[in-house]
Structure 1
């Protein structure tokens, strides 16, 4: 995997600033994107909170560009995308005498708070198909739930798509709801973007192939998970039991994330009548439903 520099000018109106927060889940860190070529810019995502190196790089870019941030658009509520909001809004990155407006789609439940964003910072609600425009950049919001209920991607008229955590530059994504996630992948496939700038990892230059791979991968995983139970019809298992077999070639440090995804597959298969669920020591365990048709 090619290393991502701290700051990269991707086009005449897109600059990527790496969040400087590497981890097994964030890869080299969160990609944030500064859009536009005028004095007022749009920032997509903000990295983690309390990362001085990221703030230093962002300030350096804005000083060099002689620009300010007028709008922050958050792809979803996870800490590695919203954490930097308080550091940016509180550090006078907006133009003198103007506010920096922060936007995020609502999560669809009563708890739409992000603990990393102080309550005195107003977060305006995004709407599906809402448009934003500054000099040199025009964006359209597309609601793509699944990774999280509030997840959005952003598209441009020239075929660029900012995918947040719905599609990554390396590996596959975790999700809260598999059904919604698959529908969102289909929605992105219909957009047929020319390139994808992901929330983590390198640029995806052949996005249609990558989207199809994501869809095929999830379907293939589901078949592997179901076959695990077909081959063991007399016992019940939890998600990690499945991971140890189905994800045996995946590094163990990623098994907890894999188990999270498997859990959603198990719930889906149980709802479809292909598995049954039982309680064992206050834990859901699943078994093969022999009457199901494969």
Structure 2
């Protein structure tokens, strides 16, 4: 039976139970809580008579069994993946085998190795259909439109539920944390452009793959843009004071943050530095970064 979630206390969210969030949206929380997934991956079920399953999550038998219970025999129009980190897409194939549903959504991405502090890339993901920006999947009373939002990872999609003003934001925008950008596939310039893309929309609520719903989307996206610009300014200030490696920048910038999270911070600082370098604002010599005294005009 569907349970009523305690939306403002994520620590109480029950793993494996179906929670009805609003008439067309329910979720099942996967048992993969961690420092990078918060309480775990949230798999969303969209629809009533027939369903779309968004971000089926890890290929965990307990989670797959929970999804089958939540689906409760209803037809699945599509298993839809926002991107192919291993906490999002590996359950797509076994769920497709159990239900006969097609896998639809982001493009496959073949990488050498994983994303370091991020979950590894899902190398086995094979969609039946890749959605381009603006393409849609439809069911009984619902329409999900793909929004191409690269940055966190190059194949990232969000899905807009057109009937209700909902956007499923995957890892692009989350209320509990900013997205980690891991080069070389993660790209800060793309991420900033994707934030502006969502900011130009007028959506009612975001349901991210991790953490609570975002009830003031425009405000949060504006804050994320401001946060990244502030980090960029901080990097330029520190490099103006002295040329230094990324490790020293992280130690200064994140001195009050748990050191276990510094590897993730290092990835985002690296992504910022690459973006600044592309715009002619910094130089690098091996692992030492320097602010340009006469920088080229910013793009």
Is the TM value for this pair above 0.5?
yes
The answer (yes or no) to whether the contact 1:107–1:149 under 8 Å persists in 2 is no
The answer (yes or no) to whether the contact 2:84–2:109 under 8 Å persists in 1 is no
Specify the alignment match of 1:8 in structure 2: 19
Tell me the distance in 1 between the aligned counterparts of 2:203 and 2:285: 43
**Aligned runs of 1:1-294 on 2, under 5 Å?**
2-3=10-11, 4-6=13-15, 7-38=18-49, 40-49=50-59, 51-63=60-72, 66-90=73-97, 92=98, 94=99, 99-106=100-107, 114-117=122-125, 122-157=127-162, 158-175=164-181, 176-232=186-242, 236-279=243-286, 284-292=287-295
Tell me the distance in 2 between the aligned counterparts of 1:109 and 1:31: 24
Tell me the distance in 2 between the aligned counterparts of 1:82 and 1:35: 17
* Structure 1 pair 82–238 and aligned structure 2 pair: CA distance change class (3 A): same
Give aligned pairs, total.
273
Name the SS for the 1:273 alignment partner: coil
* Structure 1 pair 213–138 and aligned structure 2 pair: CA distance change class (3 A): same
* Structure 1 pair 135–47 and aligned structure 2 pair: CA distance change class (3 A): same
Deviation at 1:107, TM superposition (A): 5.7
The answer (yes or no) to whether the contact 1:79–1:116 under 8 Å persists in 2 is no
Deviation at 1:271, TM superposition (A): 2.5
Name the SS for the 2:103 alignment partner: strand
Consecutive unaligned residues of structure 1, counting only runs of 5 or more, are none
* Structure 1 pair 185–61 and aligned structure 2 pair: CA distance change class (3 A): same
Deviation at 1:123, TM superposition (A): 3.3
Task: Tell me which structure has the larger Cα radius of gyration.
Answer: 1
Tell me the distance in 2 between the aligned counterparts of 1:246 and 1:136: 48
The answer (yes or no) to whether the contact 1:247–1:255 under 8 Å persists in 2 is yes
Tell me the distance in 2 between the aligned counterparts of 1:110 and 1:263: 19
* Structure 1 pair 178–70 and aligned structure 2 pair: CA distance change class (3 A): same
Q: 1:115-151, CA deviations, whole angstroms, 9 ceiling, x for partnerless residues?
A: 243xxx6532111111111113211111111111111
The answer (yes or no) to whether the contact 2:79–2:101 under 8 Å persists in 1 is yes
Tell me the distance in 2 between the aligned counterparts of 1:107 and 1:35: 23
Tell me the distance in 1 between the aligned counterparts of 2:278 and 2:200: 28
Instruction: Report the TM-score, using the length of structure 1 for normalisation.
Output: 0.86
